[in-house]
Structure 1
């Protein structure tokens, strides 16, 4: 491959095509997502293969599969496009002088992982913008969103439904894990039933929360009554501290559970949570983005931080 010619001839269209191809795998889907024709997509792929002097796709019926070289190129394309997007809204924020304020409500199971990178990105782009964060559970946060006290709510959702006057978007999918401290008797079990687990103390979400109803429904699904020895708490950090000091079982997002498991503090138990509360969504009032430039920027920063 002629590296100089490759770098000189590669275009943003090439990068968008290969990144979209990695995501969708279908020429029709790629064309639709980029608002171009299917022949145009095929042409760009052929140009990329010619420039790279290597096969980047394998055609199988109506699907295109990336070769190892294609996957590597797609990874580079995503990073380049992400940096360009960040540059665009950094400059946009500087030009517009985005200040103002944005108020975010989030459940404790998503706040520590989702918010810091988004906030960091926003403060770098718009240092004058004020950001306030309120932690709670969805039932307590949602009225504040409707009243205008909060601009956005980020929560794990059970049985999503449309809400008049409210826009919503899926941010990510992440499993919930059942955990115990490393010295718990169940930590050594390779197979475990919910009937066994229910006999132990539990740290569960607050009784009037969506998360608590979802957990109790999960117990019923496996033929068990909810545990009776319960500590109800919505504080993730308090829950972690209690888990380390008691024989209670608890629920944590997979990423947080894995972090503490890798430190040798907690053990993820072999219990199926059936995708309970795995979907994380953000909610905002219709028209909010147009009315509040700080909100609009935060939403973009949130999307950018998740794309990394």
Structure 2
């Protein structure tokens, strides 16, 4: 059987090499990380693809990207390496387990909304567990999850190919809103969209869901974003600019929830129906999450319900 031949020929180095290249998306960087030469990495990948009978990676000037077959293979390769890692920890030196780590990814608009409360509650339950927070755009979050570089993420659904090997659990829907500092002239009444877009605007970068929703919202009303917008993924930068000026920020509601409740920012009276986007918990479908990672997911569910009710 072909499957039997594969199982007898494949070696751990093939899987480690493939996963590293998938994570780095670059043969040179993967070679450096593996302490191998780039030709050795390339040779190992060719051997693996020959055994599998399919191209797992596309090599090009922009690096190495997974094919659809590579996406599916990565899911199982990670499972094997995770299982071996778990076995090694279970029989570690002195019989004790190494310090556990939970890596959680989050969208920039979500991180300041539900993560602080969730991480505080998590620390009370697991004071000895190391926690790493990765804040990134949705595509990067999904890639890190699929490559085994994070345990769980709070993000959005994506195209079916991007969701291969991932599970999504809805937490809440998040609308787009427009906010300004307290005391902004636009809060005095008589607000019009043509007047609004003459103000300095703060928006998310192209390719993000908030930017897409902002452009569609304006286009449906015969308007478009001016060319002099401040574009940033950084919630902290956008927040300080808006607090210190007359800028208008088209933001996801979660990013500004706390500042609105404190009276630092105010929501402009505009209807943004149809801009709601689902936000949920993501993890690898086949991954066996550690008890701390499962606990963090449970806490995130509770924190999201609390935020949605405020």
For 1:275 and 1:98, the matched residues in 2 are separated by 48
| Kept after mapping to 2: 8 A contact 1:157/1:278 | no
Aligned to 1:164: 164
Unaligned runs of 5+ in 2: 1-96
2:188 pairs with 1:188:
yes
Aligned to 1:219: 218
Q: Secondary structure in 2 aligned to 1:180?
A: strand
Aligned to 2:282: 283
| Kept after mapping to 2: 8 A contact 1:219/1:225 | yes
For 2:257 and 2:220, the matched residues in 1 are separated by 25
Aligned to 2:302: 304
Q: Structure 1 residues 120, 182: CA separation in 2 closer, same or farther (over 3 Å shift)?
A: closer
Q: Secondary structure in 1 aligned to 2:207?
A: coil
| Kept after mapping to 1: 8 A contact 2:176/2:214 | no
Q: Secondary structure in 1 aligned to 2:202?
A: strand
Aligned residues: 210
> What are the superposed Cα offsets for residues 103-152 of structure 1, whole Å, 9 maximum, x if unpaired?
11111211112112222222222222221101121123221122111222
Aligned to 2:138: 138
Q: Structure 1 residues 177, 125: CA separation in 2 closer, same or farther (over 3 Å shift)?
A: same
Q: Secondary structure in 1 aligned to 2:163?
A: coil
1:214 positional shift: 2.5
2:90 pairs with 1:100:
no
Q: Structure 1 residues 160, 278: CA separation in 2 closer, same or farther (over 3 Å shift)?
A: farther
For 2:160 and 2:184, the matched residues in 1 are separated by 35
1:263 positional shift: 4.3
Q: Structure 1 residues 253, 98: CA separation in 2 closer, same or farther (over 3 Å shift)?
A: farther
Q: Structure 1 residues 218, 264: CA separation in 2 closer, same or farther (over 3 Å shift)?
A: same
Aligned to 2:292: 294
TM-score normalised by structure 2 residue count = 0.59
Aligned to 2:269: 270
TM-score normalised by structure 1 residue count = 0.60
For 1:264 and 1:121, the matched residues in 2 are separated by 26
For 2:195 and 2:155, the matched residues in 1 are separated by 30
| Kept after mapping to 1: 8 A contact 2:157/2:168 | no
Aligned to 1:124: 124
| Kept after mapping to 2: 8 A contact 1:206/1:212 | yes
Aligned to 1:205: 204
1:250 positional shift: 0.2
Unaligned runs of 5+ in 1: 1-96
